[in-house]
Structure 1
Amino acid sequence: MRPNGFLSTDDQIGEITHRCGTTHLGRFAGENRPQITPRAVLVELHSDTLRNMLAAIAIALAAIVVPTGDPPPSRVTIDVVTINGTGCPAGTVAVAVSPDNTKFSLIYANLIAQVGGTSKPTDARRFCTATLRVNAAGYAAGIARAEYRGFAHLESGASASLRLRYSFPGILPIGDKTKNFTGPFSDDWSFVDDQPARSACGGSQTLTLGVDLKVSLGTSDPKKTSFVAMDSVDGSLGQTYDFAWTRCP
């Protein structure tokens, strides 16, 4: 934080949000846009901040109850096999499984696309593909439902799109949803994909999740910043997947 109260790219976003008393990346950037340089919201969060986010996610997951069948009685874990994309640098993605094994959340701490202001041309698109391995002895994992939440700020004339996918490689069907926004818009957003996707007993328990964010300047003022973000935590979950379990012989 600079003495004059303005924020610069030298400040870690984790430090900024901590000092301002918020962990909601998108809303923070929207409410403080006049004081924050566009590049500042693209800085990687501190590892301590990510751990705090995980703790908040676990508490929120425990409070949600959605029937998805009988889950495994023993603890389910998820390994992050690979993370690739322009929107997920190292240390900015984490996974949390609910205590009752009925759902999990994928947390993107730094996934935001933006245009205008001092944004670079490459900032207009951010994507991330995560490959996860579900560890649940005696069970085949599936996805019954996915809920996505985030925040967008679009100036008049700007537009944005999100494409979100999930699948078990080689197995159909897959979840694939697209959501479009047009400015002026400055608010939280959410939507649900209830297309089931299942793995098979004896098959791979590897799950692929994809996120693709795009923002277009359109006819908006190029001096003003527009962005769309997959948020981390604001008391609700950014990206939640309900398991669909199959007990294997």
Structure 2
Amino acid sequence: MLASFAAPSSDEPQPLADAPEATASEPDLNEVYIEEIKGVGPGCPAGTFDYTIAEDKKSFIIGFFELRLENPNPAGKKIQYTNCLATVKLHVPGGLQVSVATVNSRGYAFLDPGIRGRQTSKYFFAGVPVGNKLHTELSGPFDDDYDFADAIPFGSAAWSPCGDSAIFAIDSSLQLNAIANPNGVALFNLNSIDGRFEMVYQLQWQKC
């Protein structure tokens, strides 16, 4: 997962690095940064979840090496599910809020005819009941890399509490449905290049 902070505008969000320096009456955008990232869930057991925070603490990459499903599976289940809940601790100075602007999900899927895959992402801030939910479906036959791109409208975005640091939660889940072809072969979200599932995030900010 790669995330960068950007300011909303009438065109495209501008990188935080290009923002002017704060005055005494304005919040300092350079004080928005990532403090810590954790992951828990069946899709990211110990040793299969890693991350790197950039030197400027304004971007990060998370790797999910076991966030994947296969059919047939040893348990004989025709419908399978797995997920990983990643929590990102953000330092947000007074006078600012942050939210998700765009999301890209990248991976690989091989699905025999009749088998369906569904990837769902939920985003929310701790203590804020309203969040965002996005999902994409693939139907077999399918054998290719995929790159799902979603943009969240500015007016419907879920924002962090005003003027306070926040915990940003990202719940990424996969479902594989082989009811229509229980003996078919399927592999969902094992990236064909480096063996891990990747999600790219861009965050936006607003004054409050």
2:37 maps to a residue whose letter is V
Is the counterpart of residue 243 in structure 1 residue 203 in structure 2? yes
Superposition pairs of residues 74-113 of structure 1, within 5 angstroms: 76-81=33-38, 83-98=39-54, 103-113=59-69
Counterpart Cα distance in 2 of 1:242 and 1:210? 16
Aligned to 2:144: 187
Maintained 8 Å contact 1:166/1:210: yes
Cα RMSD between the aligned structures?
Answer: 3.5
Maintained 8 Å contact 2:107/2:147: yes
Answer 1 or 2: which has greater helix percent: 1
Secondary structure of the residue aligned to 1:88 is coil
Counterpart Cα distance in 2 of 1:165 and 1:180? 15
Cα distance change on mapping 1:117 and 1:232 into 2, 3 Å: closer
Q: Which runs of 4+ in 1 moved over 6 A?
A: none
Question: How far did 1:184 drift?
Answer: 0.7
Question: How far did 1:113 drift?
Answer: 1.2
Maintained 8 Å contact 1:111/1:231: no
Is the counterpart of residue 67 in structure 1 residue 28 in structure 2? no
Secondary structure of the residue aligned to 1:73 is helix
Among 156, 163, 176, the alignment partner of 2:133 is 176
Question: How far did 1:75 drift?
Answer: 8.0
Counterpart Cα distance in 1 of 2:79 and 2:35? 30
Q: Which blocks of at least 5 consecutive residues in structure 2 are unaligned? A: 5-11, 18-28
Maintained 8 Å contact 1:156/1:183: yes
Answer 1 or 2: which has greater strand percent: 2
Maintained 8 Å contact 2:93/2:165: no
Q: Aligned residues, how many?
A: 185
2:106 maps to a residue whose letter is R
Counterpart Cα distance in 2 of 1:110 and 1:232? 13
Counterpart Cα distance in 1 of 2:45 and 2:200? 21
Superposition pairs of residues 149-164 of structure 1, within 5 angstroms: 149-164=106-121
Is the counterpart of residue 210 in structure 1 residue 167 in structure 2? no
Counterpart Cα distance in 2 of 1:187 and 1:155? 12
Question: How far did 1:183 drift?
Answer: 0.7
Q: TM-score, normalised by structure 2?
A: 0.71
1:229 maps to a residue whose letter is N
2:135 maps to a residue whose letter is T
Counterpart Cα distance in 2 of 1:216 and 1:179? 14
Deviation by residue 1:149-192 (Cα, 9 ceiling, x = unmatched): 11111011211111111111343652211111111101111212
Cα distance change on mapping 1:206 and 1:232 into 2, 3 Å: farther
Cα distance change on mapping 1:85 and 1:226 into 2, 3 Å: same
Counterpart Cα distance in 2 of 1:166 and 1:132? 11
Secondary structure of the residue aligned to 1:91 is coil
Question: How far did 1:247 drift?
Answer: 5.8
1:130 maps to a residue whose letter is A
